[in-house]
Every structure is written in C-alpha cells, then in structure tokens.
Amino acid sequence: MKGFTRMIRVNENFLKLQAGYLFPEIGRRVAAYAAEHPRADIIRLGIGDVTEPLPPAIIDAMHRAVDEMAAAETFRGYGPEQGYEFLRRAVAEKEFGPRGVNLDADEVFISDGSKCDTGNFQEVFGLDNVVAVTDPVYPVYVDTNVMAGRTGGSENGRYGGIVYMQCTAENDFIPALPKQPVDMIYLCYPNNPTGAVATRDQLAWWVEYARSNRAIILFDAAYEAFISDPAIPHSIYEIDGAREVAVEFRSYSKTAGFTGLRCALTVVPKDLKAYKRNGEAVAVHSLWSRRHSTKFNGASYISQAAAAAMYTPEGRAQVKAVIELYMDNAAAIRRALGDLGYEVYGGVNAPYVWVKTPDGIGSWEFFDKLLHEANVVGTPGAGFGASGEGYLRLSAFNKPQRVREAMERLAKL
C-alpha cells in the first residue's frame, strides 16, 4: 500500500454480510442442477413469485394509462414522489376505511416495492437504536441493518447487537416480548416464512410494549390479503394506539400479481414520533417524506393506474379469485404433506407452508433432496435464520396442476 495516502474505501459493514442473499443462492443451486440435468422438469415452490397473469381489470387500466401517455393532452412526466393522489386516496378510503382504520391520503406513500421500503425505512432512525427481529425472519430486515452499521459481525448465523426473538412451534411462531430494551421492532404477519398469523391480543401486546418503551414497530403486512379467518386483524392500525408507534408496509406484488409490475405502499401516520437525543419528539412522517422526495421519483404512472384498478368492483372480484386459487394450492400442500406424516404449519391465512424436515435432517440437506430426487424447489428454513433450521418453506404460488404434481412426487420419495 506504500505510496497511497488516500484510497477509496468500502463500507465495511457490507463485508459483515453472510454469503449471498437467500433467493439468488437458491436460484444458483437450481440453475446448476438444471444445467447438469437439462431434461429435468423442475417445479418451483421456492421464492414467492406469482404465476397467474394480471387480472383483466388491471390490464384494462394499464392499456388506458398507456394511451394517455401516447397523447399530448394526457401525457404525464414526473409524478409526485409520494404517489398520485388518486391512488393514495383509494388506499385510505377503500383498503383501510372498511376495516375501521381512518387514514389521511397523505399518510400513504406509494413506492415500487415493499422489499425496498422495509429495507430503506431504517435510514430515518439513528444507528444506535437496538433492532429486534423474529427468528426466522425475512432476511431484508436484518441485512439492511447490517449494511447500515447497526450490528456487529456474525457468529453462528446471528449478528451481534440484534435481538433475535425466537419463533417456534411451541410459541405458535409468535415471539415473546423482549426482556432487554429494543427500539426498532420488525414484525411480519401473516408471517413470511412460517405462515403464522397474529391475533388481535398478540398485536395489542406489541403496541402496548412499543408505547411504554418509546419503540417503533415496522409492521410488514405484505400478505394480509391472504387472511381468511375473520378474527385476525389485517392491519396493525386495527389496534388502538398503533398510529403512535407503527409503520405498516403493504404490497400489490402477491395480492394482485404485481411482482413484475412493481407497486407497493407504506403507511406512516402523522402521530408517529421518534426522538432526538434531548428527548424532543420528531414526526417520522416528515422524515420519510423528505427521504422519499430526495431518493425516489415515484412509482410509474402506469403501475399506479393499475394498482388503483384493484379497488373497482371488477378488480376486487378478479383479485380475490386469484388469491383463492393460491390458497387452494396452500390447502392442497398442507393436506398432502399431512397425509404423508409431515408436521406442517401455516398455509391457512398465508400463502406459505412451513414444513418440519423429516428425521431431523438439516434444511439445506432436505432442500437438496427435494431438488435432486423430486425436482421440486422449496426454500430452506435455515436461510431465514437459526431457528428456521430443520424446516423448509413451500410457497403456494404456482399453477394448481404443478402443485398437485409436486405433491405426487413427494409422495414417491
């Protein structure tokens, strides 16, 4: 290094990250297998990616939006960074309103995905906050906090400084309140990956915890549309007091088939506060709005017009039918695996089935066995955290015929 007094340095927090991101790693293993076995007919129940085409009401709205872009009188350039008023209002009135949740349209921020929003939101909080996550967990919450520098290095699959809250079959995959103080609490219900749901009482404990500890809950509700049990809350704002302590993330990806189109929303109530070192309260809404307008130029007009079509009577009915198709798949997976003697969780109010691996074999070993012997792709539970070891996640997002075939292959193992 002699001779260099200055040099460009990396953000060494990135070097703390363990291996690659989970889904590309699975993709790599599947691609390697497919290259060696070009005739293998692989059924993918790994990453939760939708297979059904977009419903007609959404396609029609997109066609109209494209036509608008083609005419000088209706062409649109940059839109508002936080999203078009027509969509923010539809979300507040038609998505949250019917559940008794009153939101102002400007508390809804439209983006191009919940992965980005759940990953980016931590930026508005100080680096000395303590992060709490469930274990297993959607890896984005953890990895983005590692990148930001809010953690130490990793040991045995866990990063120093993060509070991991174990979710196991014994606690119905709902974590106990942490014993040590925490500031940023990531919760995802219906849960990815376990498929568990949180009851009203369970969410109320968390809201109460956050209120009494001046903490914030980052509530990922990306799978709320898959809830069938009427007693289960769809939004954390159905709990009294949650407006003061919670951000909520929702996505059109799984709900309406937008994984390739991209559109999502984040709710930041104006009552939500974080604090300066001197104890002075700051509205998180203004921080996120500032961050959004500085780093984001808005989701495309076409995808926002498409999302708004979900709130029409036809759009709603068509989207519901697709969700039912996926949930029938989930039921078929549960039934087939149950009959084969597997221990299965989830898949009732969520599109993921969480399967205990047989004979105590490891998650990645079971993943490899299914890939090699049945040509079926799942997601190893260990990829979601230490407590996911010994489990495999199967996604219900596929064609019913393919799901049936996958189950027939598993029966022959």
Q: Residues in the site for ligand MLT, rule: CB under 6 A?
A: 47-48, 115, 192
Residue 47 CB, nearest distance to ligand MLT (Å)? 4
SS3 call for 179 = coil
Structure tokens at 89: 């209002």
Give whichever of 115 and 250 is closer to ligand MLT, judged by the CB atom: 115
Q: How far apart, in Å, are the Cα atoms of 157 and each of 16, 354, 391?
A: 11, 20, 16
For residue 80, the minimal CB distance to ligand MLT (Å) is: 25
Nearer to ligand MLT, 301 or 367 (CB): 367
Tokens of 159: 């990063």
Is 188 or 242 the residue whose CB approaches ligand MLT more closely? 188
Burial 297-320 (b: 16+ CB within 10 A, else e): ebbbbbbbbbbbbbbbeebbebbe
For the CB of residue 51, give the shortest distance to ligand MLT in the complex, in Å: 12
Closest CA to 389 of 187, 133, 155, 136: 136
**Least CB distance from residue 4 to ligand MLT, whole Å?**
40
Residue nearest to ligand MLT (CB): 48
CB of 254 to ligand MLT, least distance (A): 7
| Cα distance from N-terminal residue to C-terminal residue, the chain | 57
Distance CA 402, CA 395 (A): 12
Supply 50's token pair: 């939708």
Residue closer to ligand MLT (CB basis): 87 or 116: 116
Considering the complex, state which of residue 136 and residue 315 has its C-beta at the smaller distance from ligand MLT: 136
Burial 65-83 (b: 16+ CB within 10 A, else e): beeeeeeeeeeeeebebbb
Query: What secondary structure does DSSP assign to 313-332, as a single string?
Result: HHHHHHHHHHHHHHHHHHHH
Least distance from ligand MLT to the Cβ atom of residue 339, Å: 25
Q: Which is nearer to ligand MLT, 115 or 234 (CB)?
A: 115
